[in-house]
Amino acid sequence: QVQLVQSGAEVKKPGASVKVSCRASGYTFISYYIHWVRQGPGQGLEWMGIINPSGDNTNYAQKFQGRVTMTRDTSTSTVYMELSSLRFEDTAVYYCARGGLRGMTMTYFDYWGQGTLVTVSS
Amino acid sequence: EIVLTQSPATLSLSPGDRATLSCRASQSVGNSLVWYQQKTGQAPRLLIYDASNRATAIPARFSGRGSATDFTLTISSLEPEDFAVYYCQQCNSWPLTFGGGTKVEIK
């Protein structure tokens, strides 16, 4: 069965960076794009960007340009999302999600990771 | 950026009631509209894609309709497990965006 398993919760200070991992299993890793979505406390969902596990090309939401980097390791079927220059308002649950259509970028998300809570606190 | 506006923000209903949730887009998204359900402490769950197609294992009481800018998610008869927050999402253009959510709560 398809699974996306994320790394554990993190506590970071303002200005620091955080790197969240998302390990995929149960399907052909390079065939489906992976997206990152975050959700602030009591807030809605916010799309951050997408990575192609096959070619490593990415597309980031303008809001996060310059602060976010998405990478992948095909040997371990893992995608990473690194967010730098953290601010208090970056406190959120970060989700990875699989694009539902094979090889398609703009699509729905059919499988989600369990979420990783990142807390930015001084 | 396409803005999705969901209404109402909260829907107070009883088990067995019919729930009608609305999602309006600031510009046409064709039929590239998706609905998710999210329960407290859980990741979102895909319900409906391409405006009206139920995802795998989603019960028939969930249905979606609409096109262009106006979309509706209907739950024909609420079960206790349906009380949750529902989000719409458009996948027609970058950046992908979500609506603000509708909370369906027990009256």
**Which amino acid, B22?**
S
What torsion, rounded to 10 degrees, do the Cα atoms B79, B85, B86, B87 define? -170
Nearest to B107 by CA among B80, B70, B68: B80
Nearest CA in chain A to B97: A47
Cα separations (Å) of A41 from A70, A88, A89, A96, B83?
23, 12, 10, 17, 19
Q: Do A47 and B55 touch (CB under 8 A)?
A: no
Across the range A77-83, mean pLDDT stands at 98
> E-strand spans in A1-122?
3-6, 10-12, 18-25, 34-39, 45-51, 58-60, 68-73, 78-83, 92-99, 109-112, 116-120
Residue A100 reports pLDDT greater than 90:
no
CA distance A107 to chain B (A): 5
Cβ–Cβ below 8 Å for A108 and B93: no
Interface of B with A in 73-92 (CB under 8 A): 87, 89, 91-92
Mutate to test the interface with A, among B38, B91, B93, B98 (most CBs of A within 10 A): B91
- pLDDT for B99: 98
Q: How confident is the model at residue A49 (pLDDT cuts 50, 70, 90)?
A: very high
Kindly report, residue by residue over B1-50, the tens digit of the pLDDT. Answer: 999 999 999 999 999 999 999 999 999 999 999 999 999 999 999 999 99
Note whether B99 and B8 are within 8 A (CB): no
Q: Give the gap in angstroms from C-alpha B30 to the nearest C-alpha of chain A.
A: 13
End-to-end CA distance of chain A: 40
Nearest to A108 among B91, B93, B94 (CB): B91
Q: pLDDT category, A63, cuts 50, 70, 90?
A: very high
| pLDDT at position A121 over 90 | yes
Contacts of A45 in chain B (CB under 8 A): 36, 44, 87, 89, 98, 101
Distances (CA, A) of B46 to A3, A59, A72, A112: 15, 22, 24, 9
Contacts of B4 in chain A (CB under 8 A): none
Predicted pLDDT of residue A105: 82
As a whole-number percent, the residues of chain B with pLDDT over 70 amount to: 100
pLDDT tens column, A8-44:
999 999 999 999 999 999 999 999 999 999 999 999 9
Taking contacts as CB-CB distances below 8 angstroms, the residues of chain A near B100 are 44
Q: Please report the pLDDT score of residue B8 as a whole number.
A: 96
> What does the pLDDT read at residue A4?
98
Give the pLDDT band (50/70/90) at residue B51: very high
Model confidence at A56: pLDDT above 80: no
Phi first, then psi, for residue A20 (nearest 5°) are -110, 135
CA–CA dist A46, A38 (Å, integer): 5
Q: How far is CA A44 from the centre of its chain?
A: 16
CB contact under 8 A, A44 and B97: no
